Each structure stands twice: as C-alpha cells, then as structure tokens.
Amino acid sequence: MSIIAPSLLAADFLHLQEACDMLNKSEAEWFHLDVMDGRFVPNISYGLPVIEQIRKATKKVCDVHLMILEPERYAEAFKNAGADILTVHLEACVHLHRNLQQIKGLGMKAGVAINPHTPVNLLQDVIQDIDVVLIMSVNPGFGGQVFIPHSVEKIRELRRMIDAKKLSTLIEVDGGITLANAPQVVQAGADVLVAGNTVFKSADPLATIAQLKQVG
C-alpha cells in the first residue's frame, strides 16, 4: 500500500489546527509541506513559522518540499523547524550532491524533486544518495492543476533505475493526484502519493485518504 502525504497547501489556513487534527486521525503517514519563494516558482506559500507550529501539532513525518532557490541557505533552519524529509529541486541546485550531503549531515532524509520538463536520467549519478525522488506531475507553484499524463512514463523509468541498482529510494508523486488516476500512478511504481485538493476539498477527507491508502 502507498504512503499518503496530504498537502497542507490545500488546507483552510484559518483552521490549520483542525486540518492537522484530521490528518492525525487519518491513515495518512506524512504531512506534505510546500514552501515557495516567489522566485523559483511564481507563487509564495508559507515558511518556517508555520512549519514550526505544524511540527508541534503532529508526530507524523513532516515532508518539506522546498520550491526555492539556494535551498542550502535554509536547510538548517528547516531542520530546526521540524522537517524529517527535506526535498530540494534538481533545477535549483548548482551542486546537488553537496546539497544532499548537507541535508543528510543535518540528520534529515534527503529528497530531490524534478519538474515536468526534467528527464529522469539526470538523477543517474546521484540516485544512490537520494532517499526520496519527488516527480512533479504538474508544473510547481499552484495547487489544483491537472495531472500531466507523461509523468506515468517518468515514474516507470525511475522505478527501473532504482530497481536496477537495488536501492530503497522512494518515488513520490505530486500534482493532480485523484482517486481516478492514483491506481495508474501506483502501478507505474510510485510509493508515495501527495494529494491536496483531492483530500481537503473532499466531502469526507478521512474516507478519501482511506480510499487512496487502499490503492495498489
């Protein structure tokens, strides 16, 4: 069964405690936390103070996705804020291997995200150093976008790469995940499903998470 990582970006920020309480009761294992700087992506979300508060509200894994330039400047601050997994974008890192060493040296799991236009094979030389690869199945920056179909082939290709090297790297997929396309995504090789609107705009988020959990 997949790991479910609801994206708090889609939650009602006036009632964030209620959203955290709901996720704590749910079958979701991770809290997916999207940080945007208005430079790497054309949007600004939330940052360290909000993550610090979310960390206090849950014992579940805090999966922090940095959609920012120069992530190395903030890695230690996100560790201190409570990140368990810190994911940086390949496209934002001039020295990606150094970024991964920094994240692991701080005691977090290291993730690498790739945008829809980025080929999976660019990870070939660092895949053994990555704990989680986040395949963006929409262009990063905004929730509520439609899943890009070619992402399925990218998941398959990444699965082959990981299996060929006998690694335990997890494949996480973020963007446009629904109850309708989740089976195809998991069948292609995904381990972790990020879902924002599908969960938080649902009439029954707990039931929706339970349904996603049963996929695969």
Any idea which residues carry the catalytic annotation? 34, 174
Cβ atoms 146, 153 nearer than 8 A: no
Helical pair 205-214 and 16-25, crossing angle rounded to 10 deg: 40
Helices vs strands, H then E, count in the chain: 8, 8
Positive/negative CA dihedral, 175, 178, 180, 185: positive
Q: State the Cα–Cα distance between residues 123 and 142, nearest whole angstrom.
A: 25
Helix axes 16-25, 48-57, angle to 10 degrees: 40
